[in-house]
């Protein structure tokens, strides 16, 4: 059963030569309104992800990975004609993001977990689990601005896991998450993904990590879908493309 289905998704940005971002500019610079340049960030992407899959997305900078993640999350809409279907609650995990720095960990946990669909009673029941998992027992009431990047990442991961987010969109998240101890804990979470129906979309540059963990990998290059399939082969293809672009 597929939890994510992406059908013929394109994304075109219209960029003005001179960007008009003010009312003053709108009236004084009317002529440049018509001069637009088309940037195709994604060109008819097509794939499906099954429940429990560990799905990798690789590609060089500017290949459209982040745009694709944003579309999956519903932050930005795809061009008309494209269809994205997501079953369940998705959360994006990236290094040190997703929290209000001026609120305590407790408040951030409540807000984030509530958005993942938990009632406050449920959050109260799971609160100590979340804090234990993130190894932040002594810092519950500390404001997030005093947290290190590692602490924030651990907290984000702990919330996503305990609040039962169905889809983890991990944006360059690995490598930053904590020490060995924590890494082992997260490994076991990933191993149990089929039991818990947890789907993982992993975007990253660490190719060894991609080969070791992913079930399937999607390769993007300049917004186009180049390859989709077995990690080893896709990574090989990616390396070829990288070599070509260096030779050019």
Partner 1 sequence: MINLLLRPIVKYLPENNRLERIWKLALVDFKKRYYNTYLGVIWALLNPLFKLFIYYSIFSIILDPQIDNYGFYIFSGIIFWQFFAEGTNKSFSVLKSKKYLLENIQFNRLDLYYSTILSLLLGFLFNISVYLLITLIAGIHFNYNVLWIPLLALNTALVVFGLLLLLSTLYIHFTDLNQLWAMALLAGIWLTPIFYGRGALMDSYPFLLYLNPLAGIVINVRETALYANQPDYFFIFYDLFWAIVVTIIGLYVFKKYSTKMIEKF
Residues that bind partner 1 (CB under 8 A): 13, 21-24, 26, 70, 73-77, 89-94, 97-100, 102-103, 107, 110-112, 114-120
Q: How far is CA 130 from the centre of its chain?
A: 21
CB atoms within 10 A of CB 143: 16
Residue with smaller CB distance to partner 1, 22 or 128:
22
Instruction: State the minimum distance, in angstroms, from the CB of residue 159 to partner 1.
Output: 10
CA atoms 41, 45, 50, 53: torsion sign: negative
Residue with smaller CB distance to partner 1, 1 or 23:
23
Residue with smaller CB distance to partner 1, 25 or 52:
25
Structure token pair of residue 183: 């890494």
Instruction: State the minimum distance, in angstroms, from the CB of residue 149 to partner 1.
Output: 14
Give every CB contact of residue 60 below 8 A, 6+ residues apart in sequence.
Answer: 221, 241, 242, 245
Structure token pair of residue 234: 């896709």
CB atoms within 10 A of CB 161: 21
Instruction: State the minimum distance, in angstroms, from the CB of residue 80 to partner 1.
Output: 12
Residue with smaller CB distance to partner 1, 103 or 226:
103
Instruction: State the minimum distance, in angstroms, from the CB of residue 229 to partner 1.
Output: 28
């Amino acid at each position: 059963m597929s939890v994510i289905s992406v059908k013929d998704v394109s994304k075109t940005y219209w960029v003005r030569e001179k960007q008009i971002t003010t009312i003053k500019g709108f009236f004084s610079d009317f002529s440049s309104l018509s001069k637009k340049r088309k940037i195709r960030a994604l060109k008819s992407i097509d794939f499906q992800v099954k429940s429990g899959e560990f799905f990798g997305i690789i590609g060089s900078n500017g290949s459209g990975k982040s745009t694709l993640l944003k579309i999956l999350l519903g932050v930005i809409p795809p061009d008309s004609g494209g269809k994205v279907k997501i079953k369940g609650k998705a959360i994006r995990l990236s290094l040190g993001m997703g929290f209000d720095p001026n609120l305590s960990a407790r408040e951030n946990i409540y807000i984030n977990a509530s958005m993942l669909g938990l009632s406050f009673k449920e959050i109260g029941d799971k609160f100590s689990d979340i804090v234990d998992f993130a190894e932040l027992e002594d810092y519950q009431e500390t404001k997030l601005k005093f947290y290190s990047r590692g602490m924030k990442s651990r907290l984000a991961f702990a919330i996503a896991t305990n609040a039962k987010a169905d889809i983890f969109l991990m944006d360059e998240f690995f490598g930053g998450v904590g020490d060995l101890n924590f890494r082992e804990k997260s490994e076991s979470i990933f191993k149990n993904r089929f039991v818990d129906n947890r789907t993982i979309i992993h975007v990253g540059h660490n190719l060894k990590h991609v080969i070791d963990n992913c079930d399937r990998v999607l390769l993007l290059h300049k917004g186009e879908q180049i390859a989709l399939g077995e990690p080893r082969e896709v990574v090989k293809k990616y390396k070829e493309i990288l070599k070509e672009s260096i030779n050019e």
